[in-house]
Amino acid sequence: MFCGKGGVGKTTAASATALHFSRRGLKTLLISTDPTPSLSDILERDVSGSITPIEEVPGLEAVELDYDTVVDMWKKRFGREVYEVVSSFLPVDEEIIEYVAGAPGIDEEFALSYVYDLYRSGRYDLIVWDTAPAGGTLSLIKLQEKFYRHLGDAARLYVRVKKALDILVKGRERRDPLGIIEEWRRLAENVLSMLRDEHTKAFLVTIPEALGVNQTRRVKRELDEYGIKVSGVIVNYLVPEEEAERSEFNRKRREMQLRYLREIEHLFSDGLRVIILHLLPFEVKGLKAIGEVERRLFPS
């Protein structure tokens, strides 16, 4: 998992990591659930909506999930089940599926389920996940935990009012909503287990500025609270020392950045890795440029 605020280089770091391990023989999936995705732009090929092989790199596949695609997938996967549960409580028709599909957070919630299905499938040796910006990722994890807790309450409530509900929706043929709710509860539990698994590692991507440091501190604390293993932090866009020597502007900017870099190193003084990616003189687009980032991220 690559986490961090928007614009700090999560997609770049994720792409370079996926390239690195696929080149070493691991079947790798690179997936982006960022609501404002840039994966197709960085790879310079359309990977939106469906898993796409990267032909130049055997073993590497990529997919970028945009909002419309995710909502459509959600309706196909859960729409009928939502109708079955809601119609057991209220006399509604199937238009309720479209209504619920438009609810805030449905796309993010389904993205976790989509990642879990791929994780469980065993199709890949490694899944590299470019997550939504930090606030969205943390909200999603919180939502998942609440969803897991509340579904147990929903089942107990249904048992208490079942007789009255049967009268209200008498004559409707439907699956047992208790069974559906239990399936959703198990799915939420499994997604949380995936995120907390010892093989799941989160890397925080940040920049050496006040906003980046403060948000990195908050994200690390909250991931720790949810039992998600943070393996290190990538500090992006640091002005190289040789560039600082060439101009007063770059010298002052590097001095400022080094102060925040020391704060980050102190934050991760418990042994977690701090990896530095210097500011690059080129735009990261295409496999050649991603390969340059890979060499900096994984020095031999």
Q: Which residues contact 279 (CB under 8 A, 6 or more apart)?
A: 237, 238, 239, 240, 243
What's the pLDDT at 159? 46
Residue 238 has pLDDT above 60, yes or no: yes
Q: Where on the phi/psi map is residue 4: left (φ > 0), alpha (ψ -120 to 50), or beta? A: left
pLDDT in tens, 25-61: 999 999 998 877 899 999 999 999 899 999 999 999 9
Kindly report the pTM of this predicted structure.
Answer: 0.80
138 vs 93, residue with greater confidence: 93
Nearest to 254 by CA among 266, 243, 265: 243
CA-based nearest residue to 297, from 66, 12, 83: 12
Return the domain boundaries, the chain: 2-72+101-297
Measured over the CA atoms of residue 282, residue 284, residue 286 and residue 288, the dihedral's sign is positive
The whole-number pLDDT of residue 169 equals: 45
Give tens-digit pLDDT for 75-133: 777 777 776 766 666 666 777 667 665 665 666 667 778 888 899 999 999 999 998 77
Mean pLDDT of the chain: 81
Domain 2-72+101-297 top-level CATH class: alpha beta
Residue among 136, 147, 138 at smallest CA distance from 221: 138
Instruction: Give the range among 126-130, 164-168, 239-243 with minimum mean pLDDT.
Output: 164-168
The pLDDT of 176-180, averaged and rounded, is 58
Among 34-48, 128-142, 147-161, which is the least confidently predicted range?
Answer: 147-161
Segment 244-258 mean pLDDT: 96
pLDDT at position 95 is: 74
